[in-house]
Amino acid sequence: MDERYEFEPEDFGTEDFEQSGLDNEALYLERLNGADLYFEVVGPEDEESGDKPTLLYLHGGPGYNALTFRDLVGERLSAYRVIYLDQRGGGRSGPLDDTEQGSDALDLDTLTADVEAVREFLEIDKITPIGHGFGALIALEYARRFPMHTNRVVCINPWVHFPDLALTLLEEASARRSVKLDDPSAEVKAAAPEGQHPQVGAARIEAAFGLINARDLLNALHFKDAPSRMRLEFSDVEGQLMGGAEVQQALVNQGLWEFEYPPFLTEIKRQIYVIAGTHDATSYPAQVQWVEDLADAEVTLLDAGHYPWLDDEDEFVEALEEALTR
């Protein structure tokens, strides 16, 4: 069993696990779409929430969890019915080894289908997906594939073009090491066999993490200041949910760093709202620009990092409320 988990999925049936003991809250660990998915449903039922939409929060990582967002922001969303989903392989959901699809590879189609499986299980007509970082990719794809079940989409510091993201990381790593940028893209393209897609993104990310290890580089680009980083780390320690490497490797095996979602943005028929922290170099401005230009998204900029609720909770909640109601 993965060290992250304090329980096995078979230890709980819905009849034992569904009610948490708190008002307007239910916890689930369900076998859906071939995986053991953990999710929490919090807040008033539809008839009690008036016109407010049901929200479904999609964490980033990949392979992170929904616990810290609920821990830090959940009380401010008490007027909404919110579904906090730990994506397959992450948080309190079962490990990828226990899924029907296995742990060798993971793709966007499967993660999107998981969201639809949760919606169907809960018998909710429409949801508003809120995606953060990598989770924004799932939120966007859900809206593209299931517009009939989507009200609108909210993206927080989205990632949508992974070769570009890899280049950003390489540029930042080179600058911080005071070395000349050496983008391997031309060399990789020249060496690629005819008919084979050149692995440009993977080469860039290998070069970037060769200069600065992944954790240190991402921390440097994600956070506005040290107190914000420490607040998130404290929440992570309290939650005791660590890991994510299994999910990340499965996505990499499927070609994550070569994935370019922008061509699909033009197909989304629901309104998209982006909340972007200007201190998050992994998303702003390049990744945000893709969504704004190709999906006609409305963008709100905050003086914040990758987790904008850490830097100014009031400002973030105000921006989120506006995105949900305008």
Distance from C-alpha of 322 to C-alpha of 205, rounded to nearest angstrom:
36
pLDDT at residue 238 is higher than 90: no
Q: Which of 220-234, 237-251, 300-314 has the lowest mean pLDDT?
A: 237-251
Measured over the CA atoms of residue 59, residue 65, residue 69 and residue 74, the dihedral's sign is: positive
Chain centroid, CA 26 distance in Å: 22
Q: What does pTM read for this prediction?
A: 0.92
Q: Which of 6-10, 18-22, 215-219 has the lowest mean pLDDT?
A: 6-10
Q: What is the pLDDT of residues 43-88, one digit of tens each?
A: 998 655 568 999 999 999 999 999 999 999 999 999 999 999 999 9
Q: What is the pLDDT of residues 180-201, one digit of tens each?
A: 999 999 999 999 999 999 999 9
CATH 3.40.50.1820 is right for the domain spanning 9-162+243-325: yes
pLDDT at residue 5 is higher than 60: no
Distance from C-alpha of 315 to C-alpha of 302, rounded to nearest angstrom:
8
Asked if residues 272 and 291 have their Cβ atoms less than 8 Å apart, the reply is yes
